[in-house]
Amino acid sequence: MEKIPILRMGDLLLVTIQVDLYDRLAETLESDLVLMIKKTGAQGVLIDISAVSIIDSFMGRIIGNIATMSKIMDAETVVVGMQPAVAITLVELGLPLNGVLSALNVERGMELLKGKIALKGASFEDDEDGYPE
């Protein structure tokens, strides 16, 4: 069976979706990713959907679900590289994915995640100054 690889990069998990998602694949990804977060204790998840050209309401919900699940497991999720057509479709479907962070490309997404994680770490260690830099 096809599977979407989940790569570990330090504190982060990297998911690149290279094929058009179908329902079963998306569900597998959802459960795999939650397991992986638990196993690695990852602080952030980066999902690259630049190769996804078709999306429906189910897939939109799965992405939203993944973000919410990661959040309650204390990992931030960033969706990167969404294509304009996909963004328009999601908005028209009434799924603006409010809880999900997004970034234009992997590089920006990585920066965003690192910033978030640093912020979180800093607020635990140093209550006076939220900005570590």
Partner 1 sequence: MKNQSIKVLQGKKKHVLETWMKFQLSDESLREDLMSNEELRIQSEELLDAFLTNLKDDTIDDPKSSAFEAVVDILSGISISRAKQGFTPRETGIYIFSLKDALLNILQQEIKDPQELYVQSLKINKLIDSFGVVTFETFIKGREEVILRQTDEISEISTPVIRVWDGILALPIIGTLDSSRTQVVMESLLQEIVETGSSIAILDISGVPAVDSLVAQHLIKTVSATRLMGAECIISGIRPEIAQTVVHLGIDLSQVITKSSLASALRAAFQMLQLTVVKKQRVQSITE
Positions in the binding site for partner 1 (CB under 8 A): 79-80, 82-84, 86-88, 90-92, 96-97, 102-105, 108-109
- Shorter beta-carbon distance to partner 1: residue 17 or 90: 90
Shortest reach from residue 76's CB to partner 1, in Å: 14
- Shorter beta-carbon distance to partner 1: residue 16 or 40: 16
Shortest reach from residue 79's CB to partner 1, in Å: 8
- Shorter beta-carbon distance to partner 1: residue 110 or 117: 110
At CA 98, angle to CA 50 and CA 42, rounded to 5? 65
- Shorter beta-carbon distance to partner 1: residue 43 or 102: 102
Shortest reach from residue 110's CB to partner 1, in Å: 12
Shortest reach from residue 96's CB to partner 1, in Å: 4
Residues with Cβ < 8 Å from 37, sequence gap 6 or more? Answer: 13, 45, 70, 73, 75
* Separation of alpha carbons 19 and 15, rounded Å: 12
Tell me how far CA of residue 79 lies from CA of 52, 109, 127, in angstroms. Answer: 12, 7, 29
